[in-house]
Structures are given as structure tokens and as C-alpha cells.
Chains A and B, each alone.
Chain A
Amino acid sequence: MLASNVDRWLWWDWIGRNSDLIWSSLREHVILTVLAVGLGLLIAVPLGVAANRWRRLYTPVIAMTGVLFTIPSLAAFAFLLPYTGLTRTTALIPLVSYTLLILVRNIVAGLDAVPADIKDAADGMGFSRMRRLVRIELPLALPTIMAGVRIATVTIVGLTAVAGLLAIPSLGNLIYVGQNRPIRTAVTVGVALSVALAVVADLFLSGIQRLLTPWSRVRRERSP
């Protein structure tokens, strides 16, 4: 009877008894994703702004972040284990580096698309470079930047699961546990929550984007 339960894709008893494990895995997954994308933005915004202002920086920055993006995640986590152990740091260093290519690309693309006459108008009104960047260019580039943040977030939700294979707490660890015991339900819960988290995060970010760019809503209402 036990064997038949182990084989089931959904075994509610197991879920009830392990709600603590499920809950903490989900929480850790969310924390890792938020920290990775947040730290990624902290690094990518200055890099993107610099690459937009000094074009010569663009190619080396993209090449460097491209190489980081190419390193397999499982390999990267394994590299770091001897140094940082089973900690958040081990998961975060590769995760942050994976966000950079996506974020920098979109930040530069967004800033590049700001029309020259708008920048001229800002200059004419006596804006300083910094004020023009913060008040004019970044807000106008926001939709493209947010598109990057959304791609990065969904990607990181998937990659954080890989960290679970090396026993770093996350929804991936739930899948790993389910594979080893083997308890199919653990796998189902891990995958379902991981996909659900990606979808919820994407919807949440698109909601934030709507709040931050009210002008795009006004325009849509006028032109149906």
C-alpha cells in the first residue's frame, strides 16, 4: 500500500505532512530569485548606462557577460561549493552573473531608443546630464528595461531549481529529494510550484510596469 502511494503523482498525505519543507523550499526559492535579480540590476544599471554613454564599452561588456552566460549553471555551482559551501552565496554568484547579459542588453537598447529631440529638449530646459538620465531617459527606457527584468526573472526561477540538485535549499531540492527517495509527489510539487512561481512573478512584474508607466495606459485608452 505504501509502494502504491509512493508511485502516485499527487499524494495529499505527503504534502500535508511535509508542508514545512515545501513552504521553506518555496520561500528560499523566492528569496534567491529576488536577491539575484535585485543584485543583477544594481550591477547592470551602471554598466548599461556607461555602455550607452561610451559606445566603445558596449562590445567588451556584452562579450564579457556573454561568456558568463555560457558557463553551465550546474558547473558554476559545483565550482563554488568548495569555497562557499551550501550557502546562498554559492547559488547567488552564478545566478547574478546570468542576469547581467539580459539586463545590460535591454537597458542599453532602451536608452538607445530615447528620441534625440526629447534629449535636446531636456538639455534646452537646462537639465544636467544626471537629471536628464534619471528624470527623462530611464523612465522612457523603462518598458524595455522591464521586459529584460521579466525575462531575467523567469530564467532565474528555472536556474535556481538547478542549485537544488547540489542540495542547496530551493524548489529544485524538492525535485531532487523526490528523485532519490523516490517520491513522485515531491517532484510534482517542486515542478508545479516552480512553473507557478515563474508565471506569478511575470504577471506581478507586468503589473508593476503598468503602474510605473501610466502614460502607456492613457495612450491605449485613447486609441482602441
Chain B
Amino acid sequence: MNLVQEVIDWFADADNWSGRRGVWHQLREHVRMSGVATLAACLLALPPAVWLGHKRRFGSVAVNVSNVGRAIPSFAILVIATQQFGLLEYPIVGSFTTFLALVALAVPPLVTNAYVAVAEVPDELRDAARGMGMSEGELLRRVELPVAAPLLMAGVRTAAVQVVATATIAAFVGADGLGRFIIDGRAVNDQAEIFAGALLVALLSLLTEGGLALVQSAVTPRGLREADVPTGAEAAALAVATVPPPDGRGTP
């Protein structure tokens, strides 16, 4: 196919890599935008979700937030926010409306996984910790959080990968990022540029997935290493699937 050669030529062209519109700049912007949004979403979502998990309260609320969240397209949030607030630019955050859309995307998987991870810590472990005289704070810090860490990190991983994949849409409101190549290429009907952009986003997503998988296994306590730790997307599906919908428990 001719397109393959065109894409190779596109990557071979040094002009496409440097400058304000080059790959390096857009890659940096993409990573910065995704990183800031994921971090903000973690700060916003994890403390309450972990606390609710510790209290084992409002579980169905946490899971339902995640389910409704899936139905709202991120770029709809982006478009509505942009029409409401205009093209705001802030330091660190960058395009404010993109930031909003990405944070809204990341919160549901973080909440579901953090809640389920902490709430599912076995009762024997909690009882043993309390029996050893641990306070509630110690129980959370020294027992629940370490045991919950792998599943909690799986949520962070799912969220981060979705954010990296979705940050592409920032280009729709004129912000930078790897989406620029897809949108600009589409505007001038340059198939090679579209394809190159799509390839770069897909590669960055896979890198994020792989990198955070390493972090996930690093935060897994030694005693739990042997256990089968689900991947990010799996854990998200698992988390929702294992908390069955109201009429989900049907085995006679």
C-alpha cells in the first residue's frame, strides 16, 4: 500500500519533528495535559473513595457514578464547557475545558476501583489489626491501603490510559497535543499525517499501560505478589461486574 510509504516518509521528515508544530512539542504537551489531569483526578477522587471503602458505605453510589460516567462522551463535556467558558488558558493546566473533560473522564474508574479495593479487604485482616490494638488510622494506613494497592493502582492505570487516549480531542478546541496531527491532517486531507498521529497516540497509550503495569507490580506487597493481579481495563470491568446490578445475583 502506498500509504505505508507515505507514513514512513512523514516520520523521516525532520521538519515534522521540530518546532512549535512538531512531534516532540505535541508529545510533550500531550503528556503534560494527561499527567496534570490524571493527578488532579486522583487528588479529587481517591481520598473520599478510600474513606468510603474503609467505612464500607455508599458502595452502590460509587459504582453507579462510574456507570453513568461511561455514558457521557468526553468530547461532549469538552464542547459544552468550551461554549460556556470559551477558550481559557491557565498555567500548568493549559486548556481549561480540556482539563475539565479529562478530569471528568478519570474520576469514575478511580472511584469504583478505590472503593472496591478498600471495601474488599478481608474481614479477618481488619479484625486481626484491631486485635493488635491498631487505631482506625493505623488500620487504614498499615493494612487496608497496602492490601488494596494493586487494585487501586489498576484504577489509576485505567484512568491514565483513558485520559492519554482521550486527550486527543483537545485539538478540537484548538489546544495542542498529538490530536493536532489527526485533526489538522483531516482538515487538509493528508492521510499520512492522520495515520502518523493515530499511530503516535496508540503507542503512547500502550506505553502508559505498560509503564503503569510496572508501577502496579511495584506497589504490590510482597505477600500478595503471587496472586493474579488483573490489568487495568480488566479490573475496571471486574470491579463493576463483581458488584452485581440489583437483579444480577441469579444463580439458584
Contacts and interface: CB of A to CB of B under 8 A. Distances in A.
Interface of A: 62-63, 66-67, 69-76, 78-79, 81-82, 101-102, 105-106, 109, 113, 140, 142-144, 146-148, 150-151, 154-155, 157-159, 161-162, 165-166, 172, 175, 178-179, 182, 184, 187-188, 190-191, 194-195, 198-199, 202, 206, 209-210, 213, 215-217, 219-220
A215 B71 contact: no
A206 B245 CA distance: 9
Contacts of A102: 237
A159 B74 CA distance: 9
A140 to B, nearest CB: 6
A125 to B, nearest CB: 17
A62 B250 contact: no
Contacts of A72: 164-166, 168, 198, 201-202, 205
Nearest to A65: B233
Interface of B: 3, 67-68, 70-73, 75-76, 79-80, 82-83, 161, 164-166, 168-169, 172, 179, 182, 186, 191, 194-195, 197-199, 201-202, 205-206, 209, 231, 233-234, 237-238, 240-241, 244-252
A76 B72 contact: no
B248 A147 contact: yes
Contacts of A143: 244, 247-251
B198 A78 contact: yes
A104 B240 CA distance: 14
A165 B67 contact: no
A191 B82 CA distance: 14
The prevalent SS among residues of B at the interface is helix
17 contacts: A62-B234, A71-B205, A72-B164, A79-B198, A82-B195, A113-B251, A143-B247, A147-B241, A147-B244, A147-B245, A155-B70, A175-B73, A187-B76, A188-B80, A191-B80, A194-B76, A198-B70
A198 B201 CA distance: 27
Given A70-B202, A72-B198, A101-B237, 20 more contacts: A70-B161, A70-B205, A72-B168, A72-B201, A74-B169, A74-B198, A78-B182, A79-B195, A82-B3, A105-B238, A143-B244, A143-B249, A147-B240, A147-B244, A147-B245, A158-B73, A166-B186, A179-B172, A194-B71, A209-B248
A74 B249 contact: no
B179 A157 contact: no
A172 B237 contact: no
A58 to B, nearest CB: 10
- Report, nearest first, the 9 A-B pairs whose CB atoms are least far apart: A216-B250, A198-B71, A72-B165, A75-B198, A143-B250, A161-B73, A213-B250, A191-B76, A78-B198
Contacts of A209: 247-248, 250
B76 A161 contact: yes
Nearest to B209: A70
Contact of B251 (A67, A79, A140): A140
Given A78-B198, A154-B71, A187-B79, A106 B205 contact: no
A44 to B, nearest CB: 12
A190 B78 CA distance: 13
A78 B195 contact: yes
Nearest to A73: B165
Nearest to B204: A72
